[in-house]
Amino acid sequence: MSEKDDRGANGRGEKTAAKSSAPKRCGAWRRFCVAAASVTALTATFADVWAIDFKIPLPTIVDAFKKDVPPNGEANEAGDYDAENDAASTSAPSTFALDLSPSFTKFLPYSVALGKVVCESNFPLEETAGLQAEIVRLQNDLVGYLGVPESTEKISLCLFRDRTSYIAFICEYFPGAPTDRPALYVKEPGKPGVLMVRRDEKMILNVRHEMVHAYLNAALRNVPIWIDEGLAKYFETPPGERGFSNPFLEKVESDATSFFASPPSLSRLERLTRVDQMRIREYRESWAWTHFLIHYSPDTQRVLALYLRSLQPEAQAGISSAEAARLQKDAPLKRLLERYVPDYKAKYVEHFRGWAERRDDYERGERRRRLR
């Protein structure tokens, strides 16, 4: 029936027969459903590609985090590993047969060996309250908490009382290296990594951050830039505050409550190969994925542990840095998540929507670790 035939004589569009109205209404309803589904799919696609954030709160669907029951006691109430040698331990990792003698006595007369780290300074180390315990604890965090293998290389941590001595040291031993930043890590082929930090109000934070880089690159091979920076940003916060005190958290939680909330693209992060590709957004997204992997559930913790295990020296033997960068574009961590946590995108959003409600559980877990 044509449109002309379907209209009444008055031209106002009334249906000519009752029996034809029902099929037309069904056809219109089907067309409406198809159009609505198309719009929904396109909107979700655009939100995923361009990270559209409408900032529309959804209090009716933001529910409390559903805690996983830890299997075999492998995680505590906060969703963290509960290993016997975890972050609460005050003993440093074993030292194998490493030469832990100081390397820079000309500039740095004070020294102490702390696990795989030789800390040297031009001021008495007793003046930095708690720093030595922080260095030991951070090594135990990475080894016992995340499953990073113990480093087979010495790490030199060089501390300077002021900017002048810091710059003089860099010019003497690493000419051409930048001197305009408060901390610097240098890893030359075949030599131990050297971490240099000048003394200021953020010295301990900078030590934590750069120590993660130093330890990961001493214990692993071909560490992708995003996981290197994500873990460094996570562990730079004081122990016991890492889950809630990072300044990135507010923005990440806000994004998770937007109308079309979706996680940042993990594939995009895994394609990054240079530190100059990292901007604030990349640092924030790297930290957020790290937070999710560590805190959501035992399954996400295992994915992170498997991923780090794939970067151990024996697993990376014969793979050049260029080849590793090419392989990295295949998004190996994303593939692990797809295998072990198939709905990881929804769980990422769920994690940050409910994270504030888990603060009490998290803090109880941290107190238990500190008391052991």
* Calpha distance 87→372 (Å, rounded): 10
- The per-residue pLDDT of the chain, averaged, comes to 75
Instruction: Tell if the pTM clears 0.75, that is, is over it.
Output: no
Go through 32-58 and write b for each residue having 16 or more CB atoms within 10 A of its CB, e for each that does not: eeeeeeeeeeeeeeebeeebeeeeeee
Predicted confidence (pLDDT) per residue in 84-100, tens digit: 233 333 445 554 567 78
Predicted confidence (pLDDT) per residue in 237-296, tens digit: 988 889 898 999 999 999 998 888 899 999 999 889 888 899 999 999 999 999 999 999
Q: What is the mean pLDDT of residues 297-316?
A: 87
Q: What is the mean pLDDT of residues 129-138?
A: 89
Q: Which of 227, 214, 222 is nearest to 314 (CA)?
A: 222
Residue 312 has pLDDT above 90, yes or no: no
* Calpha distance 364→372 (Å, rounded): 13
Tokens encoding 280: 């604030």
Domains along the chain with CATH numbers: 54-79+221-372 (no CATH), 84-219 (3.40.30.160)
The most confident of the ranges 7-11, 19-23, 109-113 is 109-113
pLDDT at residue 31, rounded to an integer: 53
Residue 122 has pLDDT above 60, yes or no: yes
Tokens encoding 242: 């890492």
In 3-state terms the chain splits into helix, strand, coil percentages (rounded to 5) of 50, 10, 45
